[in-house]
Amino acid sequence: MRPEAWTRPAPGARLYGLPGLALLCAMAPHVTVVPLWLAAVFIATGLWRLGAEARDWALPNRWLLAAATVALCGAIGWQYRTLFGREAGVALLYAMTSLKLLEWRVHGGQRDALVLMLLGYLLVMARMLYDQGPVTALWALASVALTLAAQVRVASDGGGPPVAAVARLVGGLLARAVPLALVLFVLFPRVPGPLWSLPQDAAARTGVGEDMSPGTIAELSRSDAVAFRVRFTGGLPAADRRYWRGPVLDRYDGRTWRMSEELPGEHFPQTEASQALSYVVTLEPSGRRWLYALDLPDSLPAQTGVTASGMLMRRSAVTEVVRYEQRSVLEYRTGPLTSWERSRALRLPSTAAPRAQALGREWRTRFADPAERVQAALTMFRREPFRYTLSPPLTPTDAVDEFLFDTRAGFCEHYAGAFVALMRAAEVPARVVTGYLGGEPSPGGDYFIVRQSDAHAWAEVWLEGRGWTRIDPTAAIAPERVERGTASAIPDPDSLSLLSRRGESWVAIALLKLDALEYAWNEWVLAYGPERQRELLGWLLGWRDIDWRGLILLLVSALAIVGLALALLNRRSRRQGRDPLGRSYARFCARLAAIGLARQASEGPLSYRARIARLRPDLADATGQILVRYAELRFGEHPDPQRLRELNAQLRRFRPRA
């Protein structure tokens, strides 16, 4: 396009340049969540607006815009079946921002430009509904800075200030915002859980769920998303002891294993236990209520109770990053079963898995000791041609029977589910436990990353004298799964995502490095909840067990201090920035004032010179020279920068003696 064409629109009404860049930056990450056709709409309206600037293309009139608005709303409503909630809301914001580009008149559209920049801020905030990681935070900072710069540009008439000046202004504004943001972040009273409940779809549920049917865990295994990170504060548990206990499933309907409703309490199931192991878990939002702990948990994080089956249950769903310090016992015994618990752990639908039930009944008569029945099942898995695979053949009619006797190929949920069904048929109390197994050490080795690909299902049987005992049938046919993760245990690891393969490729290592950053971010920023706040303030100020009144007091005083400091800084920098000469002169006068020759407020430089010469003839020469030069530079037409420097040097050297 012709360069002069760009100069046509009124300054402050051009998309080309900073405003366009800022908008593009704010809009770009949303492409991952809005439908592609919406992104195309944005690009089309952007190009149209650029064409209007450069080539005098006509912009649509009001009626056309109204029609487009209705059409886009309709399309979004059709796509999401609603106009509310996170997804549809962001799509609407995206669509309306795109249309606003066409409403932004080329001539005198300053108000529209400002509205667009404000929409840019809103878009940045909307992105936080999806992701609050460190990379997003960096992007948000860059985007806000750009939008701020664009705002400065569009708000100033006549082409706007030069880039360097805009950059200085924006940098200064952001720098001033930092202490305020820090104070608010550290001191604002934290409430447990999210401050307000997000719309349903915003709290997406990920990870291990409250039920398990064939394929559930295998599906999860394909994702390398992080479930949680762990730092062991004491020793490390052995690789085959890293069972992260999640939902305990003890209700079976012939296809799906489900959790029972249990009230969390404060009593742990274990009656005897070895020494506890301590660690810190930073859990990613899962949308579920339970927390993960090594088998079995021995302490309770805030707002959390423990169920009779040893699950940690939180009062509210985990929709934000949660950090908790946890203790677990790896060796334990649990107490006797009540008859009600026993019957629940033996229940099997009569119609489900007739062949397996028959086999179980046979074992019951053959082996008197329940432990032998357990061994019999594990031996069967080991001897018969069972395969461990991510993509087993379908088992359409009866999951347990078809897996055990026909396909003999399955993932951990198949083995765990079939094993528990067999045990229940053999009258050994049993249940399915889901959670994660293993974890990958970070490059520095100071924490472990547990991914969705580490999701696992295993079994527990109740044995007289030992209580609930963990049995992992998967270990019987694929022991390497326990030791080295899923990728080493399945024949087709390429179907797993890159990071769950545990390779040594540089990409994987780089991504792990990034993970360390994310871990630190989670630890210090996202997981900064009421406990951490109390901890930090106790450590910083020695104020233990601070309550909300103390926090408000601290917050108000800190804000007052920051505000005062900023105001002072502002005044100082305004004075200094604008007028180095005035500053030097003030210092000069202060030095003379110190020896009793204070300048009167209304005294000009020459009158001052005359008075000094009269009172202190010995100072007449030095001060006279300075004052004459000052008068010339201050009031002259073209102050010579060289002379200004000389004068400044002279003023600095000037030290009158009393």
CA-wise closest residue to 267 among 296, 229, 287: 296
Catalytic residue among 401, 454, 472, 515: 472
Residue among 604 and 656 whose Cβ is closer to other proteins: 604
Residue 637 in the binding site for other proteins (CB under 8 A): yes
Contact between 19 and 113 (Cβ < 8 Å): yes
Residue 573 in the binding site for other proteins (CB under 8 A): no
Residue 68 in the binding site for other proteins (CB under 8 A): no
The residue to which tokens 């797993």 are assigned: 496
- Nearest distance in Å: CB 603, other proteins: 7
Q: Can 472 be counted among the known catalytic residues?
A: yes
Residue among 112 and 603 whose Cβ is closer to other proteins: 603
For other proteins (CB under 8 A), the number of binding residues is 18
Catalytic residue among 25, 224, 454, 456: 456
Contact between 605 and 647 (Cβ < 8 Å): no
CA-wise closest residue to 77 among 88, 67, 90: 88
- Nearest distance in Å: CB 588, other proteins: 10
Residue 586 in the binding site for other proteins (CB under 8 A): yes
DSSP of 233-262: SSPPPPGGG-EEEEEEEEEE-SS-EEEPP-
Q: Which of 351, 602, 642, 653 is close enough to bind other proteins by CB under 8 A?
A: 602
Residue among 393 and 582 whose Cβ is closer to other proteins: 582
Specify the length of the chain in residues.
658
Residue 601 in the binding site for other proteins (CB under 8 A): yes
- Nearest distance in Å: CB 611, other proteins: 12
Residue among 179 and 604 whose Cβ is closer to other proteins: 604
Q: Which of 85, 287, 604, 656 is close enough to bind other proteins by CB under 8 A?
A: 604
DSSP of 513-575: HHHHHHHHHIIIIIT--HHHHHHHHHHHH--TT--HHHHHHHHHHHHHHHHHHHHHHHHHHHH
* Neighbouring residues of 196: CB distance < 8 A, sequence distance ≥ 6: none
- Distance set, CA 390 to CA 241, 277, 570 (Å): 23, 33, 63
- Nearest distance in Å: CB 637, other proteins: 4
Long-range contacts of 394-400 (CB under 8 A, 24+ apart): 395/214, 398/254, 398/352, 398/353, 398/354, 399/213, 399/214, 399/254, 399/255, 400/352, 400/353, 400/356
Report the alpha-carbon distance of residue 575 to residue 602 in Å, rounded. Answer: 19
Contact between 130 and 33 (Cβ < 8 Å): yes
Residue 644 in the binding site for other proteins (CB under 8 A): no
Residue among 510 and 606 whose Cβ is closer to other proteins: 606
Report the alpha-carbon distance of residue 648 to residue 583 in Å, rounded. Answer: 10
Residue 137 in the binding site for other proteins (CB under 8 A): no
Q: Can 201 be counted among the known catalytic residues?
A: no
Report the alpha-carbon distance of residue 380 to residue 376 in Å, rounded. Answer: 6
CA-wise closest residue to 385 among 409, 402, 363: 409
Residue among 171 and 636 whose Cβ is closer to other proteins: 636
- Nearest distance in Å: CB 654, other proteins: 16
Consecutive H or E run containing 306:
strand 304-306
- Nearest distance in Å: CB 609, other proteins: 10
Catalytic residue among 224, 295, 398, 412: 412
- Nearest distance in Å: CB 534, other proteins: 51
- Nearest distance in Å: CB 601, other proteins: 4
Residue 508 in the binding site for other proteins (CB under 8 A): no
Q: Can 414 be counted among the known catalytic residues?
A: no
Stretch that binds other proteins, among 49-57, 410-418, 520-528, 633-641 (CB under 8 A): 633-641
Q: Which of 129, 317, 631, 644 is close enough to bind other proteins by CB under 8 A?
A: 631
Residue among 397 and 602 whose Cβ is closer to other proteins: 602
* Neighbouring residues of 463: CB distance < 8 A, sequence distance ≥ 6: 370, 371, 374, 428, 469
Q: Which of 376, 589, 613, 622 is close enough to bind other proteins by CB under 8 A?
A: 589
Residue 606 in the binding site for other proteins (CB under 8 A): yes
* Contact set with other proteins (CB under 8 A): 582, 585-586, 589, 600-607, 631-632, 634-637
Catalytic residues, by residue number, are: 412, 456, 472
